[in-house]
Structure 1
């Protein structure tokens, strides 16, 4: 798995954080254009990257900064970031965000097809609470929901409205001495856990096999908690 590349589309990553490892050069895509400034000034992307590194330490993590001063972006920036991933050899795209704007469906569907053609996989929230999200509800995207009933390393298959999604705990890497209630939480970290699972299972999938079908079958055979504790 040492050559597997996971892009974290988020607020950047703090490379000096003690829980972060396996970082490679990334890119910043914001309203100001493109740069190499991937430093995290909000903390969210660093927490996502730290969790992925803890669960899939052999993977290379590529910061793709799409947030500037707030945890929000626009369609143009997000599409550019996904296209950058396709052009730069990314295997797993960890996207911890989504939108309810149905007018974006066609644009997302087009870029999701490009991701699949490149042999990569996009992991994104299927829903946040009761709100269904794009692109996570699209066919070909591994959609994720928060499932706080799971054990820390567990993952579940969840039959949903449009397709099956995958549930995982909504918690980041624990900070010793800090109660979870005082730390970040949310579906972002469920997505990160599923991205890490995919990285660990990457070599087991047959070429061309739909990711959702592969994950469902693999979880039936080998629960995620077994795989992640090897």
Structure 2
């Protein structure tokens, strides 16, 4: 499992959806951010609700410190849109932006067992051999009321777990503003499109900052959290998409 680099824009002809409501903050929504951890005291981060670190060899510990920067940037993009959401950190990247499918499945299970409504995975793999391990984790999470949000595809290949049944897949659209998503279709399936740019850093051009499908996933997760605040009864992929559509009518 790896965190992807920036990819090319995807811009099919589908209708724009779901501008976030600025009076909403994602309050009452719980999110597990499965990534490289978070850097304490970073000015772009708000309060965090703890979490867990999981190593590829199966160990658990409580050092959530992000030493790679990816998880901090992903969390910042989510909290920028949904500062009232309860964010838990699940650190699966340690020395590099790579982990095992077994560790990722364990992280998804952890999110479901803790009652997180959303699990943000700004990472993935094109290796279909990992379906056997990841599909049960996505299904288990769904039964627990946890929706996995992850990349649907990257560089022309479908990615896991975002393309699995029960997950909400995200695709890139570089032309979208960072605070908007739209619902479209890929391979006959409904997916979200979102911008691949993270929260901006003053004085740093967007093209010099981290960017790509990782941040499209994070931007989408933040906006889904806003929808779930308005529609707290929503459960699962279909309900989340319906809630996003409902934002246009509120």
Say yes or no: TM over 0.5: yes
1:68 is matched with: 94
Per the TM alignment, residue 113 of structure 1 is displaced from its structure 2 partner at its CA by 1.1
Match of 2:48 among 8, 16, 23: 23
Per the TM alignment, residue 34 of structure 1 is displaced from its structure 2 partner at its CA by 0.5
Contact in 2 for aligned 1:149/1:169 (Cα 8 Å): yes
Residues 12 and 80 of structure 1: CA distance in aligned 2, closer, same or farther (over 3 Å): same
Per the TM alignment, residue 207 of structure 1 is displaced from its structure 2 partner at its CA by 4.3
Q: TM-score, structure 2 length as denominator?
A: 0.83
Per the TM alignment, residue 140 of structure 1 is displaced from its structure 2 partner at its CA by 1.1
1:123 is matched with: 149
Contact in 2 for aligned 1:9/1:93 (Cα 8 Å): yes
Correspondence 1:11 to 2:65: no
1:79 is matched with: 105
Per the TM alignment, residue 86 of structure 1 is displaced from its structure 2 partner at its CA by 1.5
Distance (whole Å) between structure 1 residues aligned to residue 27 and residue 240 of structure 2: 21
1:151 is matched with: 177
Contact in 2 for aligned 1:15/1:23 (Cα 8 Å): no
Deviations 1:180-202 (A, max 9, x none): 01100011111111111111111
Number of equivalent positions? 224
Distance (whole Å) between structure 2 residues aligned to residue 3 and residue 206 of structure 1: 8
Specify the SS of the correspondent of 2:198. Answer: coil
- Misfit runs of 4+, over 6 Å: none
Per the TM alignment, residue 146 of structure 1 is displaced from its structure 2 partner at its CA by 1.0
Specify the SS of the correspondent of 2:63. Answer: coil
Per the TM alignment, residue 4 of structure 1 is displaced from its structure 2 partner at its CA by 2.2
Query: As a proportion of its length, which structure holds more helix?
Result: 1
Distance (whole Å) between structure 2 residues aligned to residue 137 and residue 176 of structure 1: 35
Match of 1:47 among 61, 66, 73: 73
Per the TM alignment, residue 134 of structure 1 is displaced from its structure 2 partner at its CA by 1.0
Deviations 1:18-49 (A, max 9, x none): 11012111110013510000000000000011
Residues 221 and 81 of structure 1: CA distance in aligned 2, closer, same or farther (over 3 Å): closer
Distance (whole Å) between structure 1 residues aligned to residue 79 and residue 43 of structure 2: 11
1:98 is matched with: 124
1:166 is matched with: 192
